[in-house]
């Protein structure tokens, strides 16, 4: 076996370097807040570190809320799998090509076996 080529981020050292660069940039940007003479059009912008704090806090809230949303929105990947049969408009117009109608047949077969309480052939 050949030795696998080492890539840029395979070494944890490089990841650390990138992160350190990010931290330095963040500190610098905070300091610049005081150095640069800003012309401000709204009072909120005058608050100390308004943009940095807003950016950080809003992202944390965004992620935490979104993670919470998973508890009631997340479903299995094939949740909608048998949807084709539920929507009449879709199956009825599925007769456009031979392939499509074949597909329809196999869908409807699936559905009749699945939903037994619907008695159509009476």
Partner 1 sequence: MWMIEIPPFFPFFIGALIVSLTRGRLRGMIMVAIPIVSALHLWLMPEGIHLQFLLFDYQLIPYRIDKLSLMFGYVFHIAALIGIIYSLHLRDTMQQVSAMMYAGSGLGAVFAGDLLTLFIFWELLAFTSVFLIWARRTERAFVAGMRYLIIQVLSGVILLAGALFYASDNNTLEFGYIGLDSVAGWLIFIAFGIKCAFPMAHNWLTDAYPEATVTGTVFLSAFTTKVAVYALARAYPGVELLVYIGAAMTCFPIFFAVIENDLRRVLAYSLLNQVGFMVVGIGIGTALAINGAVAHAFNDVIFKGLLFMSMGAVLHMTGRINGSELGGLYKTMPKTTILCIVGAASISAFPLFSGFVSKSMVVSAALEEGFEWIWLMLLFASAGVFHHAGIKIPYFAFFAHDSGIRANDPPKNMLVAMAIAAGLCLAIGIYPQALYALLPFDTGYNPYDATHVLAQTQLLFFSALAFVWLNLKGLYPPELRSINLDFDWVYRRAFPTALQKIFTIIWKLDRVLRQGLKLKLKVYLTFIAQKNGRLSGLLSKNYPSGSMVMWVAVVLAIYLFLSFIQ
* Site residues for partner 1 per CB under 8 A: 5, 7-9, 19, 22-23, 25-26, 29-30, 32-33, 36-42, 44-45, 49, 51-60, 62-67, 69-70, 73-77, 79-80, 83-84, 86-87, 89-90, 93-94, 100, 103, 115, 117-120, 122
Q: Minimal distance in Å, beta carbon 10 to partner 1?
A: 8
Beta carbon of residue 54, minimum distance to partner 1 (angstroms, whole number): 6
Contact 45, 38 (CB under 8 A): yes
Q: Report, in Å, the least distance between residue 92 CB and partner 1.
A: 10
Residue 66 parent element (H or E): helix 50-73
Written as six digits, the tokens of 113 are: 């076996």
Q: CB nearer to partner 1: give 1 or 119.
A: 119
Residue 103: its H or E element:
helix 98-114
**What is the smallest separation between the CB atom of 35 and partner 1, expressed in angstroms?**
10
Question: Is the CB of 84 or the CB of 108 nearer to partner 1?
Answer: 84
Q: What is the DSSP code string of 13-62?
A: HHHHHHHHHHHHHHHHHHHHHHHS----SSGGGGSTTHHHHHHHHHHHHH
């Amino acid at each position: 076996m050949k030795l696998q080529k080492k890539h840029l981020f395979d070494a944890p050292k490089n990841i650390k370097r990138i992160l350190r660069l990010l931290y330095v940039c963040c500190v610098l940007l905070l300091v610049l807040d005081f150095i640069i003479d800003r012309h401000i059009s709204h009072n909120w912008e005058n608050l100390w570190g308004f943009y940095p704090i807003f950016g950080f806090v809003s992202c944390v809230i965004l992620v935490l809320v979104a993670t919470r949303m998973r508890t009631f929105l997340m479903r299995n990947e094939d949740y909608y799998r048998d949807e084709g049969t539920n929507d009449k408009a879709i199956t009825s117009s599925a007769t456009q090509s031979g392939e499509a109608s074949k597909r329809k047949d196999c869908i409807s077969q699936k559905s009749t076996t699945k939903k037994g309480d619907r008695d159509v052939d009476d």
